[in-house]
Amino acid sequence: MPETSARPSSGSSSEAIVRDIVRGLYEGRYVAGQRLVEPNLAEHYGVSRGTVREAVNRLAAQGIVEAQHQRGARIKQPSRQEALNMLLITEVIVGLAARQAAAKIDSPGARDSFEAALAPLTTPQHAPAPLEFARLRSRFYRAMTRIAENAELERILSNLQVHLVRNRLVIDPERRAEAYRRIGAAVLAGDEEGAERAARAHVRSLIERLDEVFVTPFPFARDG
């Protein structure tokens, strides 16, 4: 079981367990390939095995876990093709988020919230660790979708972020920071086409270099 997670109260719902496991992916408490052992999870979260089963089924419906015959469930290890498919979708969605954010960047408070989310991503000499970067990236994308006032886009992009965390893409910090600087400059200038172009170019660069940035998941992962 993850040792550092906060144990929810005995009244935790399956949705609370889903949220904690997703959060655990960002924090490194759960990793691709890890088995989700029903009795262990029930004891850890202080709930019935039925509640755990419901949570696992929800995660399976989102493509985060996969059921294994007579072995319970395991957090899904993405293949190279799955990583490619996810990036192709992400390219379109992130481009749309950047375009819509640029269109509304002069809304009250929009610039301040956007700049606050952008700043940590544009300083390569203080490049965050991978899991911290994933959280900062999610914050940045969330800022764009909220400026755009597009709740549906925020929901879709949030779900994509979970899969990107599982894909474990390794990117040069300087190249990554420069990409975010370009996106940020276009959004702050209110340049809708430029913002979409910069955002899509960033994701497209990952697609073109997928064999270089995709890290094969660990062959052996702990059980939970």
Q: What angle do CA 203, 26, 137 make, to 5 degrees?
A: 35
Whose tokens are 């994933």? That residue is: 134
Q: At what angle do helices 38-45 and 49-61 cross, to 10 degrees?
A: 110
Q: Which fold has domain 80-213?
A: Four Helix Bundle (Hemerythrin (Met), subunit A) (1.20.120)
Count CB neighbours of 88 within 10 A: 12
**Closest of 8, 25, 15, 5 to residue 164, by C-alpha:** 25
Residue boundaries of the structural domains of the chain: 14-75, 80-213
CATH number (1.25.40.10, 3.40.718.10, 1.20.1250.20, 1.10.10.10) of 14-75 reads 1.10.10.10
Tell me the pTM: 0.76
Provide the H-helix boundaries in 46-123.
49-61, 80-103, 110-118
pLDDT, tens digit only, all 224 positions of the chain: 554 455 554 445 898 999 899 888 877 788 888 899 889 999 999 999 999 999 999 999 888 898 876 677 988 887 888 888 989 999 999 999 999 999 999 999 999 999 999 999 998 666 667 778 888 898 999 999 999 999 999 999 888 877 776 665 667 888 889 999 999 999 999 999 999 999 999 999 988 888 776 655 444 345 55
